[in-house]
């Protein structure tokens, strides 16, 4: 077990190191193919963000290796965690959620559900995906596409598919809690306003990763 944890920690740290580099390459590709402006959002020092990503990804990989029920499940979950960080990074930078990455997430979700639950798991995930997309489409209609974009709807649906029930409920609850906390703290510190346009991918990903990690932890202690 110790050897397994060390290997996953090293791979997780290295993957965390290349996540910003890979994300920037994807950003450059999207700028060329989608006629996106060159302006990027800079919230924090890149070095601080990069160090945080490395440490967080390494810790998440190590924890997943310890709690996952099998090596294959651990790999699938770890890849999903790293992919989620890429979603958040890109959305923060250029306010876009690449369709190509959503397809990758759906592929990982199909693989994970088929491996663990078979056809029943896939059918359940489809229901979750449709339900979540309906909810987020309603939010987009109510709040306006400026605050909830088509990319947010697609990402939420893909997350619903990848997680299935009941993990998707955990993810949406965690997302809402993180988003509400961020808004309240931002308003209190006068860093944001109620009209501020926030990228939703980081909050969706926070809920997604929380659900993945807690799911494997609950299986481990069950």
DSSP 165-198: TTHHHHHHHHHHHHHHHHHHHHHHTTS--TT---
According to the model, what pLDDT value does residue 12 have? Answer: 95
According to the model, what pLDDT value does residue 218 have? Answer: 57
CA 167 – CA 112 distance, rounded (Å):
13
Tokens for 123, please give them: 């059918």
Contacts for 215 with CB less than 8 Å, ≥ 6 apart: 163, 167, 170
What count of residues does the chain have?
A: 222
Of 216, 214, 205, 145, the C-alpha closest to 172 is 205
Question: What separation in angstroms does the CA of 183 have from each of 118, 137, 146, 171?
Answer: 40, 21, 17, 18
The reported pTM is 0.87
Stretches in the chain below the pLDDT threshold 50: 38, 220-222
**Residue 68 Rama label (left phi>0; alpha psi -120 to 50; beta):** beta
According to the model, what pLDDT value does residue 155 have? Answer: 92
The overall average pLDDT reported for the chain is: 85
Tokens for 183, please give them: 């808004």
Of 67, 50, 45, 40, the C-alpha closest to 13 is 50
The neighbour count for residue 216, using CB atoms within 10 Å, is: 19
Hey, is 160 helix, strand or coil?
helix
According to the model, what pLDDT value does residue 44 have? Answer: 54
End-to-end distance of the chain based on CA atoms, in angstroms?
Answer: 19
Of 206, 205, 167, 216, the C-alpha closest to 65 is 216
């Amino acid at each position: 077990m110790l050897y397994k944890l060390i290997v996953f920690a090293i791979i997780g740290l290295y993957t965390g190191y290349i996540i910003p580099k890979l994300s920037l390459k994807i950003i450059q590709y999207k700028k060329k193919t989608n006629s996106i402006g060159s302006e990027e959002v800079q919230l924090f020092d890149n070095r601080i963000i990069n160090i945080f990503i490395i440490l967080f990804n390494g810790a998440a990989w190590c924890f997943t290796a310890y709690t996952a029920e099998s090596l294959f499940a651990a790999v699938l979950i770890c890849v999903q965690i790293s992919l989620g960080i890429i979603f958040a990074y890109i959305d923060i930078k250029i306010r876009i959620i690449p369709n190509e990455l959503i397809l990758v997430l759906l592929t990982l979700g199909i693989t994970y559900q088929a491996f663990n639950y078979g056809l029943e798991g896939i059918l359940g995930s489809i229901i979750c995906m449709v339900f979540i997309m309906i909810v987020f489409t309603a939010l987009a209609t109510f709040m306006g596409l400026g605050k909830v974009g088509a990319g947010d709807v697609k990402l939420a649906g893909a997350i619903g598919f990848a997680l299935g029930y009941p993990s998707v409920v955990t993810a949406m609850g965690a997302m809402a809690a993180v988003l509400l906390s961020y808004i309240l703290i931002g308003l209190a510190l006068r860093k944001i306003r109620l009209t501020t346009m926030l990228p939703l991918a980081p909050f969706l990903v926070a809920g997604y990763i929380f659900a993945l990690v807690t799911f494997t932890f609950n299986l481990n202690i069950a």
